[in-house]
Amino acid sequence: MSVWNNLVGQPDVVQQLQQAAAAERTTHAWLLSGPPGSGRSTAALAFAAALLCEEPNPEHRGCGQCKSCQTVLSGSHADLTHFSTENLSIKIEEARELVVKAQDRPAVGRWRVMIVEDADRMPERTSNVLLKAIEEPPPHTIWLLCAPSPVDVLVTIRSRCRPVKLRVPHLSDVVQLLISEGIPEDLAFHCASLAQGHIGIARRLATIPEARARREAVVRMPISLRSLPSAMKAAEDLVQIAEEEANADAEARNEVEKNQLMTALGIQEGEKINPSMRSQLRQLEEDQKRRARRIKTDTLDRFLIDIQTVFRDILTLQLGTGSPLINTHLVQELQQYAAQTTGVKTLERLDAVTLTRRRISTNASAKLVFEAMMAGFVHER
**229-287: per-residue pLDDT in tens?**
999 999 998 888 888 877 776 776 777 777 777 777 676 666 676 666 677 777 777 77
Q: Does residue 356 contact residue 370 with C-beta atoms inside 8 Å?
A: yes
Q: What is the pLDDT of residues 156-167, one digit of tens each?
A: 998 999 999 999
Cα distance between residue 289 and residue 295, in whole Å: 10
Confidence of residue 183 (pLDDT cuts 50, 70, 90): very high
Cα distance between residue 313 and residue 248, in whole Å: 33
Q: What is the pLDDT of residues 292-305, one digit of tens each?
A: 787 888 888 889 99
Residue-averaged pLDDT of the chain: 87
Amino acid at residue number 107 = A
Contacts for 71 with CB less than 8 Å, ≥ 6 apart: 77, 78, 80
Give residue 245's pLDDT: 76
Give residue 270's pLDDT: 63
